[in-house]
Structure 1
């Protein structure tokens, strides 16, 4: 049935085209026949009048009537013959027009399909002529380059528009461009991943691109380029390298810590035996006490190294994070100078986690100490808690950040922050910006390892001149609506990525 309706529709459109072609020809033929009839009648009447066959050209006589009838028959026959000839001509022209319209419609549909296909790809695609001017661009290309529509790129020199400089800002001449050289050399480069493209707003982004020649009769008349923004891939690669580096450092620190701890145990044991043997003649010799103090400092150092390597023994129990912070407030206050203020901004809901209370307090104290050292002239330290729900998007695809509900412990200071270039180093063991003898560089490494061992992660945010905020994310076991009566003097501010001064 659908095929029948389609055939009827085709016949209607064909008949419409035929009438559009035939009617003008028929009208022209009829008008031409009428004109010829009038001209011939007038000519014949003039001749009859000149030779005296009639008294006037308006005379009605058998001769003029016979002449008129003869002319009508002749002209009608010629006109009918002309119409019979015009009809198939009109039909052929209508058929050709219909075929042309079908081909044009198919071409438009093909172009629309090709455009839809190109606009549906994630990759940016553009083509240029021999001069490097854009002749084709898809929607992704315009979006990646910061343009609202692909049509805005047409006719522009693409190298000068988005490939004019290297990543460091130095000029990238068109004659050296690997993509542009394809048109002159015919040699397409392999996949390029070490260059950048430039957006309309002047910002650059790393790309992976490949180019291929556009050929016509064995002659290169342009090239087509496909590219993708690899910023996210680079970020993930950097995170992977950093995680591998931290893992290697952790394994090294753990091995050293175990061996060092064994040495310390031998020193401590023998020192205590010697202290016992000398107790009768010289109670508590100062030299032995100094040895024992040094052993204690070394033991604390090995504990920090084991915490970073996540090889320490933990005794996890259910804890309420807000209560842990309040219980630690008095000891935390003793870590601060008189010109430093400590504030609490705790969540109104109870945050239940499973953690080692002693180790988690050590994490808090290390963060407070780090915040204190970032404000040598004093300031305000705010300890805050919150409940956060992280989904796939908010985790950023990081393998160490599992979607779910987290209890968040935040320590914010009002210091100056530190430059961006050392942000990736702050959790590395023995890395410190302090003077020699004033920091071991293990405080934040211990925080990193302990939080990792508890299944969480640490997020650092900072802005120059506005201080820093360390956020410890710990998996929440349960959270019930228990009002927290603690005051909330100030909310934690939002920061862009940055760091604080590592100890």
Structure 2
């Protein structure tokens, strides 16, 4: 490269082709960076990791492939080394792939000086840990949701005991009062509010996975078709419904009422994201997950699954919002327009069926929820 410091090309030549082969074909990314932050050399692994050719990467500054939020950290790291200050030789940071996606790396850096102590260039080794970071985030999220579910279930049971007393004594009072008594309407309001609270409590119990389930081997296609008439009422006349069903052995071990509740909740969210109308698509298909998929994604177990998808043509959501949608009481709706428990309940129901749910969404391009439920053989009936 034409920006190599004096003596670097000689170093390649003096050490021969073996030294070059080690550099160029190492499994981890290796690069030489000038003291001005520009790339001097990069091996094939680093180019593959970041999506650039060797020539393209050699024309860039290290700051151009560093995530903006980590740019100051990377800059301070380099300046501390140049100043001879004590600093870590390894840290985690985010790089930017040529496509724009984030690549998490563990970076090890050292500073090469000449015999008089003048800094010549940095040697940086990068290991792609994006998959590891994704698995760690999934594990933390799963643990958080489990903890919230346990807490929610416990609170809901105590809450249910209080509600039982309110409803019980309120009903007795209603029975004792004549309907023409001016206090009668207040009792009705008390009971109405208590009933709304009871429905909310059922949602909490569902999220905490402590409510009763009635499992049986059911045809998922039949459950979907049986729910369509309800969905039409929920969605209104401006939103169409399309189905793309497996037309095969689509049996799962499930509580059909709870699966219907999942579909209704997802439909309500879809409706709210399509204020000008649109299309809701429900799909089922048989699929199989192998060990490689489980390792790559950090969830599920290898085997046969029924994949239930619910897609809309709505406004979509950004990544920051998408990561929080299953959290209890998180809502993008205005005050008083939702409890923030609808998707939390969906999450709890699917987990209680030993399945898992994921969401893909982009602003302006709609949202797709993908639900995997363990497949059952018709012989189980």
2:107 corresponds to which of 209, 220, 229: 209
Q: Hey, what's the Cα distance between the residues in 1 that align with 2:299 and 2:102?
A: 29
Residue 126 (str. 1) matches residue 25 (str. 2)? no
Q: Is the 8 A contact 1:355 1:454 kept in 2?
A: yes
Counterparts of 1:154-165 in structure 2 under 5 Å? 161-163=61-63
Moved more, 302-311 or 285-294: 285-294
Q: Is the 8 A contact 1:132 1:180 kept in 2?
A: no
Q: Is the 8 A contact 2:242 2:280 kept in 1?
A: yes
Counterparts of 1:349-388 in structure 2 under 5 Å? 349-388=248-287
**DSSP-derived class of the 2:288 partner:** strand
1:428 corresponds to which of 312, 323, 327: 327
Unpaired runs of 5+ in structure 2? 1-11
1:276 corresponds to which of 172, 175, 178: 175
Q: Is the 8 A contact 2:39 2:61 kept in 1?
A: no
Residue 407 (str. 1) matches residue 311 (str. 2)? no
Q: Hey, what's the Cα distance between the residues in 2 that align with 1:477 and 1:374?
A: 34
Q: Is the 8 A contact 1:124 1:141 kept in 2?
A: yes
Q: Hey, what's the Cα distance between the residues in 2 that align with 1:153 and 1:278?
A: 84
Q: Is the 8 A contact 1:342 1:380 kept in 2?
A: yes
Residue 318 (str. 1) matches residue 223 (str. 2)? no
Larger radius of gyration, structure 1 or 2? Answer: 1
Q: Hey, what's the Cα distance between the residues in 2 that align with 1:288 and 1:132?
A: 74
Residues 145-203 of structure 1, C-alpha deviations (whole Å, 9 max, x = no match):
43445xx489x58xx632457522897699x552465356285633122x444556777
**DSSP-derived class of the 1:433 partner:** coil
Q: CA deviation at 1:363?
A: 0.9
Q: CA deviation at 1:423?
A: 0.9
**DSSP-derived class of the 2:323 partner:** helix
Q: Hey, what's the Cα distance between the residues in 2 that align with 1:419 and 1:438?
A: 21
**Aligned residue number for residue 3 of structure 2:** none
Q: Is the 8 A contact 2:37 2:62 kept in 1?
A: no
Q: Hey, what's the Cα distance between the residues in 1 that align with 2:88 and 2:366?
A: 47
Change (3 A) 1:163 1:335: closer
**DSSP-derived class of the 1:335 partner:** helix
Change (3 A) 1:445 1:145: closer
2:353 corresponds to which of 454, 465, 476: 454
Q: Hey, what's the Cα distance between the residues in 2 that align with 1:202 and 1:335?
A: 39
Counterparts of 1:230-269 in structure 2 under 5 Å? 230-269=129-168
Q: TM-score, normalised by structure 2?
A: 0.81
Q: CA deviation at 1:319?
A: 0.6
2:239 corresponds to which of 340, 364, 382: 340
**DSSP-derived class of the 1:440 partner:** coil
2:67 corresponds to which of 167, 170, 179: 167
Q: Hey, what's the Cα distance between the residues in 2 that align with 1:131 and 1:332?
A: 61
Residues 384-442 of structure 1, C-alpha deviations (whole Å, 9 max, x = no match):
21112222344463443223221122222222223333111111111222232221111
Change (3 A) 1:143 1:468: closer
Q: CA deviation at 1:250?
A: 1.9
Q: CA deviation at 1:313?
A: 1.9
Q: TM-score, normalised by structure 1?
A: 0.63
Q: Is the 8 A contact 2:305 2:372 kept in 1?
A: yes
**DSSP-derived class of the 2:296 partner:** coil
Q: Is the 8 A contact 2:65 2:97 kept in 1?
A: no
Residues 4-23 of structure 1, C-alpha deviations (whole Å, 9 max, x = no match):
xxxxxxxxxxxxxxxxxxxx
Q: Is the 8 A contact 2:354 2:373 kept in 1?
A: yes
Q: Is the 8 A contact 1:179 1:189 kept in 2?
A: no
Q: CA deviation at 1:301?
A: 0.6
Q: Is the 8 A contact 1:128 1:136 kept in 2?
A: yes
Change (3 A) 1:202 1:412: closer
Residues 417-471 of structure 1, C-alpha deviations (whole Å, 9 max, x = no match):
2333311111111122223222111111110110011111112222333322222
2:373 corresponds to which of 471, 474, 492: 474
Higher strand share: 2
Unpaired runs of 5+ in structure 1? 1-106, 481-503
**Aligned residue number for residue 226 of structure 1:** 125
Q: Hey, what's the Cα distance between the residues in 2 that align with 1:334 and 1:373?
A: 14
Residue 298 (str. 1) matches residue 197 (str. 2)? yes
Q: Hey, what's the Cα distance between the residues in 2 that align with 1:217 and 1:170?
A: 32
Q: Is the 8 A contact 1:410 1:472 kept in 2?
A: yes
Change (3 A) 1:209 1:297: same
**DSSP-derived class of the 2:61 partner:** helix
Provide the aligned length of Structure 1 versus Structure 2: 366
Moved more, 383-392 or 196-205: 196-205
**DSSP-derived class of the 2:68 partner:** coil
